[in-house]
Every structure is written in structure tokens, then in C-alpha cells.
């Protein structure tokens, strides 16, 4: 008995699967993209701040927003140019940056040590975590009078306030990242023969890294926020010093300029942490939102 070869026309035709033009397949998922109406993300992210500045300019130019209430963007820019030329603004930024850097390094060191001890050891958790939870409930801005009593009115209370504001977000995020490590990964690492040091280095710390980077973003923004309050205490240099002098003469243009500089410095730090996160977390697939 012979069999005839099947004719190709008789076989069911398999349709070639072609992705729709409005979808894009990536390693981290499938993102829908409309190529005809796609707006760059940089433009979309800048639309909000630019729109607010335009609204501010229009309300100031039309008189809806009086100059006695808030200076116009033109006056703020003019004041920025003048203070940059005479050197006051660069000197103030350098003084504030030095305080923020020293306070951040102290607070980050304390938070890292405490979070590692509390996260890796049960005894450390029993001793440290409850105390940190109690101290976090105390508003750190309210400690300014006590810091003045303890450290005087020089640089130390300003740096201490920044360090205190940095400690809490870093501690709780690193501690939470350590304790959120998958127990099955830990068990698998032990079965493969990893000791305590190897377990911490190759499993626990990488698992805690995303939470630590989130805490770093919060800590950097809190450092500049704490510095705004700290530099109101008998400062003789820095952005807070410029703001205090401007307040006495009702110079809203200088006040707004200092606030804008604070915001830009915080934004620059946040951008740096975003870049660092992308470099350090390339191994971690996460959801990036719908296109």
C-alpha cells in the first residue's frame, strides 16, 4: 500500500504572527506604542514644570499676582544673575552643599550600621528597631531648640539636624529590604553551601538593594528639606542666610530664588540616584508602566 504525498495546498496554511504596529516587545514586558503620536518622555516630564512657570509669568505680567505677594520669574532670573556676578549665590550654594554633604554622610553611616545590625540579627532587631520606631514619631524639626542647647549656634546643630533627617528613611528602607528577602532563596543558598558571609553578600544584600536605593532618594530629599530649617538658625552663610536677610526686607524675588535653588539641588540628587539605580538594578526586571 502506497501513500501519496500530501499536496501543499491541502495542508492548513499557518498564519505568520506579526506583532501589531502599536505594540513593542521588550525584555521587561510588552509596551504599547503609537509611533504616529509618540511624545518623547523628556518633553512630557518637562511639561508640568514649564507649564507652571508659564502660568506664573502670565499671572505676574497681567497683575493677577501682585509683586508684593510673589515676584515675577523675570525678577527672579534678574536677581539670580546679579547674585551670581557678585559671588553671593555661588558662595551660599557651596556653604549649603557642604552642610548637606557632611550631614548626609553622618546620617547615612549611622543608618547603614543600625539597619544591618537590626536586619541581620534578631537581637539587634529587638534592641534597635523598637527604639527607632519610637524616635521616628518625634518631629525632628522640633528638636532644633534642643540641638541649640546641646551644640550651640554654630555649624554643629545644622549638620546634626540634616543627619537626623537622613537617618530614618535610610534605616527603615534598608531594614525592610533585608527582611523582605525571599526565604526560599536563603534556604537554597544554604543548601548550596554558602556560609553566613556568602549568604549576606550574594543573597541578602542584593535583595535589599532596591529598598536601599528608594531610601537613598528619600534621604537626599530630606537632607535638603532639613537644611532649609537648619539654616534659619543664626546662619552667617548659605541659602538660608540669604533667605533670612531677604525676609527682613520683603524681597520675595530672593526668597523664591533660594527655594528654586534648593529644588534644583534636590532634583539633581534625585536624578543621580535614578541613574545609579538603572546601573545597579539591571538584573531586576520591573514594571515600567503602560506606554
| 33: Cβ contacts below 8 Å, ≥ 6 apart | 22, 23, 24, 291
Condensed to tens digits (0 to 9), the pLDDT of residues 150-166 reads 887 788 888 888 998 89
**205-235: burial string, b at 16+ Cβ within 10 Å, e else:** bbbbbbbbbbbbbbbbbbbbebbbbbbebeb
Please give the Cα distance from 141 to 164 (Å, whole number).
10
**151-172: burial string, b at 16+ Cβ within 10 Å, e else:** eeeebebbbbbbbbbbbbbbbb
Are 137 and 79 contacting, i.e. CB atoms less than 8 angstroms apart? no
Are 161 and 229 contacting, i.e. CB atoms less than 8 angstroms apart? yes
* Statement: residue 1 has pLDDT above 50: no
Chain centroid to CA 95 = 22
Burial of 91 (0-12, 13-18, 19+ CB in 10 A): middle
Chain centroid to CA 286 = 18
* Statement: residue 98 has pLDDT above 70: yes
Chain centroid to CA 53 = 23
Please give the Cα distance from 259 to 265 (Å, whole number).
10
* Statement: residue 240 has pLDDT above 90: no
* Statement: residue 7 has pLDDT above 80: no
Average pLDDT over residues 130-137: 84
pLDDT at 246: 84
Please give the Cα distance from 91 to 187 (Å, whole number).
54
* Statement: residue 141 has pLDDT above 80: no
- Of the given ranges (85-99, 145-159, 257-271), which has the lowest mean pLDDT? 145-159
30 φ/ψ angles, rounded to the nearest 5 degrees = -110, 120
- Of the given ranges (5-14, 88-97, 142-151, 197-206), which has the lowest mean pLDDT? 5-14
pLDDT at 6: 45
Condensed to tens digits (0 to 9), the pLDDT of residues 105-126 reads 999 999 999 999 998 888 888 8
Average pLDDT over residues 126-148: 83
Length of the chain in terms of residues written: 291
**184-194: burial string, b at 16+ Cβ within 10 Å, e else:** eeeeebeeeeb
Q: Which residue has the higher pLDDT, 289 or 208?
A: 208
Average pLDDT over residues 5-25: 48
Q: Which 3 state secondary structure label does DSSP give 74?
A: helix
Condensed to tens digits (0 to 9), the pLDDT of residues 57-84 reads 898 888 888 877 888 888 889 988 998 9
| 153: Cβ contacts below 8 Å, ≥ 6 apart | 233, 234
Kindly indicate the confidence band of residue 262, based on its pLDDT and cuts at 50, 70 and 90: confident
- Of the given ranges (36-40, 104-108, 166-170, 189-193), which has the lowest mean pLDDT? 36-40
pLDDT at 248: 81
Kindly indicate the confidence band of residue 103, based on its pLDDT and cuts at 50, 70 and 90: very high
- Percentage of the chain exceeding pLDDT 70: 84
Half-sphere exposure of 6 toward its Cβ, with a 13 Å CA cutoff?
5
pLDDT at 288: 57
Kindly indicate the confidence band of residue 249, based on its pLDDT and cuts at 50, 70 and 90: confident
Beta strands in the chain (DSSP E): 23-26, 29-32
Amino acid at each position: 500500500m502506497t501513500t501519496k504525498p500530501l499536496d501543499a495546498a491541502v495542508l492548513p496554511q499557518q498564519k505568520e504572527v506579526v506583532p501589531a504596529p502599536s505594540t513593542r516587545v521588550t525584555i521587561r514586558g510588552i509596551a504599547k506604542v503609537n509611533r504616529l503620536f509618540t511624545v518623547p518622555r523628556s518633553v512630557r516630564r518637562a511639561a508640568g514644570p514649564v507649564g507652571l512657570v508659564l502660568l506664573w509669568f502670565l499671572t505676574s505680567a497681567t497683575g493677577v499676582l501682585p509683586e508684593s505677594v510673589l515676584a515675577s520669574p523675570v525678577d527672579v532670573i534678574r536677581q539670580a544673575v546679579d547674585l551670581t556676578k557678585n559671588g553671593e549665590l555661588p558662595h551660599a550654594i557651596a556653604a549649603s552643599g557642604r552642610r548637606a554633604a557632611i550631614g548626609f554622610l553622618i546620617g547615612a553611616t549611622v543608618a547603614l550600621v543600625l539597619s544591618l545590625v537590626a536586619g541581620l540579627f534578631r537581637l539587634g532587631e529587638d534592641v534597635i528597631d523598637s527604639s527607632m520606631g519610637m524616635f521616628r514619631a518625634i518631629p525632628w524639626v522640633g528638636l532644633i531648640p534642643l540641638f541649640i542647647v546641646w551644640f550651640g549656634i554654630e555649624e554643629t546643630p545644622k549638620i546634626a539636624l540634616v543627619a537626623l533627617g537622613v537617618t530614618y528613611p535610610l534605616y527603615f528602607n534598608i531594614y525592610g529590604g533585608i527582611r523582605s528577602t525571599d526565604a526560599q532563596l536563603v534556604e537554597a543558598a544554604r543548601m548550596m553551601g554558602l556560609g553566613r558571609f556568602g549568604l549576606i553578600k550574594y543573597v541578602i544584600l542584593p535583595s535589599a538593594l532596591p529598598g536601599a536605593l528608594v531610601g537613598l532618594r528619600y534621604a537626599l530629599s530630606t537632607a535638603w528639606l532639613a537644611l532649609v530649617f537648619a539654616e534659619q538658625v543664626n546662619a552667617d552663610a548659605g541659602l538660608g542666610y540669604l533667605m533670612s536677610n531677604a525676609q527682613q526686607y520683603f524681597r520675595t524675588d530672593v526668597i523664591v530664588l533660594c527655594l528654586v535653588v534648593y529644588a534644583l539641588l534636590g532634583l539633581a540628587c534625585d536624578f543621580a540616584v535614578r541613574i545609579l539605580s538603572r546601573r545597579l538594578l539591571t538584573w531586576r526586571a520591573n514594571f515600567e508602566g503602560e506606554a
